[in-house]
Amino acid sequence: MQRLLLLPFLLLGTVSALHLENDAPHLESLETQADLGQDLDSSKEQERDLALTKEVIQAEEEEVKSSACQDNFEDEEAMESDPAALDKDFQCPREEDIVEVQGSPRCKTCRYLLVRTPKTFAEAQNVCSRCYGGNLVSIHDFNFNYRIQCCTSTVNQAQVWIGGNLRGWFLWKRFCWTDGSHWNFAYWSPGQPGNGQGSCVALCTKGGYWRRAQCDKQLPFVCSF
């Protein structure tokens, strides 16, 4: 009789044990999922931190590069002349020494002049600034480059100055325009600019290609204003 009374309790204990055994893998699975969720969240946070770090680095690099182009046109090979020497006997070009260049669709209010009188790069920029309130020309597409080349093909020189020049320091050296506009187009001759010499950019009157040139070279030039 006592054995019969104990039998239900024994069965109840066995069933409870089986439930605990069946629940154990489920609990372990929940714990594993929780751990994986924490790892995933941690991984996402690390990715976000890494992305932010990359953005900060890129922003700092762009700031350094931008500052290199925004600096005044000085402390470069192109400023081989003493600033006082630029003012000595300064004269604006005579009308017979300039030729109007067809404008660019990018800037319908801009004017462009070819100055036939040869000057160094710094002297040419000085003329564009003081006589016309502008800069040496910047070129941002092939069509306008072709217009400049067609106009300059009549001068008795193989090259003319445009507004490109190499600025910056050490690894941050890059080509910039004297008017501060974005350098988004180039039309270099084969082997240029890597094999070129000089920090200033000249446009070839035949073919319209660009070459690096010594900034103290005297060439005709194109102003934009």
87 or 37, which is more confident: 87
pLDDT at 27: 41
Q: What is the mean pLDDT of residues 145-155?
A: 93
58 occurs within a structural domain: no
Domains: count for the chain? 1
d(CA 222, CA 19): 91
pLDDT at 11: 44
* Consecutive H or E run containing 5: helix 2-70
72 occurs within a structural domain: no
Question: Which of these ranges, 33-37, 44-48, 106-110, 134-138, has the smallest mean pLDDT?
Answer: 33-37
18 occurs within a structural domain: no
pLDDT at 9 over 60: no
2 occurs within a structural domain: no
Domain range enclosing 137: 112-164+175-224
Structure tokens at 53: 């770090």
Q: What is the tens place of the pLDDT at every residue in 47-99?
A: 555 554 454 445 444 444 445 565 445 444 444 545 555 666 788 999 888 99
d(CA 9, CA 188): 95
Residue 29: helix, strand or coil by DSSP?
Answer: helix
Looking up residue 189, the CATH number of its domain turns out to be 3.10.100.10
One-letter amino acid for residue 180 of the chain: G
